[in-house]
Amino acid sequence: MPELKLSQIWIYPIKSLGGISLPTVNVMAKGLQYDRRWMLVDESGTAMTQRTYPKMSLFKLSIENNQILISYGKQQLSFNLEAGAISKPLQVNIWNDSVSVFEVNPVYSKWFSDLLGVNCKLVYFPEENSRPVDPRYKVNDEHVSLADAYPFLIIGQGTLDDLNLKLKEPVPINRFRPNFVFTGGHAFEEDSWRNFSIGNVRFVGVKLCDRCILTTVNQDTAEKGQEPLKTLATYRKRDNKIYFGQNLVTLENGNVTVGDKITVQ
């Protein structure tokens, strides 16, 4: 069996906007550094995602000189990664959780509102704020940032390749928004992982990831289709949910790098 190796690292600093591929990253308790520490909320204070606003996929992000750069067509915005709160805390909703956040800057909120055609705010989730993972799946007392439910998601390249063999048009990994992609092993290898390490950092697989219509949004055009959910439903459906990838928590902070060996206990 080929050696298991970390082949891609992804972060999504602003929830449901474009991802950033990195060669190396800091692993933190709530998720990878800068991963989903910001999000857009609508007028009711509810998290906005591509499920409802597929146009969000067209905002492309990069990190340069301690700045997040956001591009939408020819429009650009940037802000400091370490910018502190300039507002009073807001209580907002992300799925079944109510969390405390801060608006980054009303000027940035207006920029997004104008481009999306909906009143919204760009908000920031401080590292020290509380958001426990589902107690049924916690290992210790894990918390998560603004990701849907868990701090990390891993998918095998073999898992994606297996799916693409079944599709008329292959889909890229960005449809599934993983943090980690690995090579080696067989399709859906990660389904059975519990305790494993990437390099020297230990992780625990806690729950298979159930997938939604966001996977049907083309990340380059914002168009919605039926795939890959339609095909996945034929062989990855259980208890009325479609599974693809494994959710993780970490047992320690550390650093992982593309090329790191993955060791499954």
Q: What is the structure's pLDDT at 2?
A: 80
State the alpha helices, DSSP H only, in the chain: 106-116, 157-166, 229-232
Q: Check pLDDT > 70 for residue 35.
A: yes
Confidence of residue 173 (pLDDT cuts 50, 70, 90): very high
Q: How confident is the model at residue 192 (pLDDT cuts 50, 70, 90)?
A: very high
Q: Which long-range contacts (CB under 8 A, 24 or more apart) does 82-87 make?
A: 83/124, 85/124, 85/126
Q: What is the pTM of this model?
A: 0.97
- Read off the tokens for 170: 């292959």
pLDDT of residue 85: 65
Domains of the chain listed by start with CATH number: 5-264 (2.40.33.20)
**Beta 195-198 vs 152-156: how paired, if at all?**
unpaired
Burial of 51 (0-12, 13-18, 19+ CB in 10 A): middle
Structure tokens at 34: 């800068």
Asked if 174 and 19 touch (Cβ cutoff 8 Å), the reply is yes
